[in-house]
Amino acid sequence: MDDKIKSYAETLYMQSLMTSVQTVLDDQVALLKKIATQTRSSDLPFSGSQLRELVKFRVKHIERCMQAKLDSYQKAYQEAVAVPTNEELIEIWNEVEQTQKLQISQTTSALQVFLKGRSVDWNPGETLATESGHGHDEVLQRWKIWRGKVQLQRADATKPKLGDSDDYKFARLAVDEARKSVSEQDGRPHPKVGAVVVKNGQVLSAAYRGEFEGNHAEYIALEKHLSDTAAAGATVYTTLEPCTTRNHPKIPCAQRLIERKVARVVIGMLDPDHRISGKGQRKLRTANIVTDFFPPNLMTEVEELNREFTRYAEQQNQETQRAASSDGKLTDRKRHINVFAGVGCELVKKVPKPDAHINEAFRWTKEVKDWAASVHSFLKQECGALAANKFERINRLDSTYLGIHKDVGQVYGSLQCLIRNLEEILEKASTYLCD
C-alpha cells in the first residue's frame, strides 16, 4: 500500500477517534448528572439499567471506530484518485478488525477502572465484544460493497464499450423477440425475455421465452436452435439477466452460457428478484465472460415491458425482508436478555455477607430491584406481556441462605429465580420473544 495513502488515512482516522472519545465522555457526564439528579447522591452504585446505558455508550464508540477506519481509507483512495488492489482491500479489512479488538481492550480497561470507583466489580469485555458484533457486520457489508465497486472499476477499464451500431442493432432485435414471449398459465406474472446469439457480426439464432413451452430464451437460442453449432466466442444479447437457479434437473442460463464458452453477454436489465439480481452477471464475470448493458433507451424499454413482473418480484422481496427483519429482532432481543442475565449473575456474586452493614445490604437490594425493573420494562415493551409475566413469577424466599438479613434473603432468592426465568425465556425464545 502506498505510504502517503496509508498516512493520510491514519490522520483522518485519528480525527474521528478523538471526536468519538469526546462523545463518550460527554454521554458519561450527562448520565452521571442524571443519576445525581434522580438519587440526590453521586455515591450509590449503578443500577442495572444505568449500567446497560453506560455499556451502550462504549459499544457505539467501538462501532464508530470501525466505521471510521474504513471511511478513512475510502476517502484517502478517493482523493488520491487511486483504486486499491485486492491485497490492499484485505489489508484494510484486517486493520478494521484489529481496530475493533484494540478498542474493546482499551474500553474494557477504562470501564473497569471507572466502575471500580463506584463499587462495581465487573469485566465488561465479553459483553462489549458481543454487543459490537452487529456494528462489525454492518461495516463488513460496507467493505464488501466497496470491494464490488472496485472490481467493477477495474473491469470497466478493459471491457469493450457498448454503443456502436451493431450492438444497438442486435440489442434491438432481442427486445423485439422479448415482445413475442409466452407466459406460463400459473396465475403469476413472468418476464418477457428475448435472446440473440451473434458471432463474427452474423446472427446465429434468436429466441423468446416460451417459444418452446416453459423454457427460457437463452436455453432455446443455444440448445434448441444451436445444439450442433459452435457458440464459443459468440456474443449473446439477452433482455434479462441470465438466471442462476432452476429446479432440478434444469440448468441455470448463466451456467449454460459458461458451458457454451460465449465471450460476451449484453444484458437489458438486472433481474428484480433479489435471489438472482446481480448474481447472474457476477457468475459470468467470474468465468471471464465480458458483460455489458443495453444502451439506456433500450434498457428503459425493457424495464417498461417487464413492469408487471418487476412489481410482482419487488412485492415478493418485501415479504422476504419482513420475515428477515422479524428474525433480526429476535436475535437482538436475545442479545439484550443475555446482557441482563450476565448483570444478574454478577449481582448474585455480590450478595452481602450475613454480618454486612445494613447500608451495604440496602444498596445491594436497591440495585437488584432496579435491575429487575429494567428487565421487566424491556420485556414488556420489546417482547410483550407473555415474556414480562413469565419473568415476574418468582419465589420470595431462598432456604439455602437463611443466615442473612431477612429482606436480603428474600431478594437473593427472588434474584436467583428471576435469572432462571430469563434463561427459560431464552431457551423458549420462539414462544416468549416473537411478536
218 assigned to active site? yes
- CB neighbours of 284 closer than 8 A, spacing ≥ 6? 242, 254, 257, 258, 265, 291
Cβ-based neighbours of 180, under 8 Å, separated by 6 or more: 194, 208, 211
Q: 394, 397, 435: which is closest to 417 by C-alpha?
A: 394
Tally the residues of the chain. 435
Separate counts of helices (H) and strands (E) for the chain: 15, 5
Measure the CA dihedral 5/9/11/12, to 10°.
140
C-alpha cell at 228: 450442433
The catalytic position among 211, 218, 241, 301 is 218
Count of CB atoms situated within 10 Å of the CB of 377: 12
d(Cα 372, Cα 376) in Å, to the nearest integer? 6
CA-nearest of 341, 368, 316 to 422 is 341
Peptide bond into 249 cis (omega under 30): yes
Q: How far is the CA of 198 from the CAs of 139, 239, 254, 296, in angstroms?
A: 43, 14, 17, 21
The answer to whether residues 239 and 269 touch, using CB atoms and an 8 Å cutoff, is yes
Q: Contact 66/133 with Cβ under 8 angstroms?
A: no
| R_g of the chain, CA atoms, integer Å | 31
| Positions marked catalytic | 218
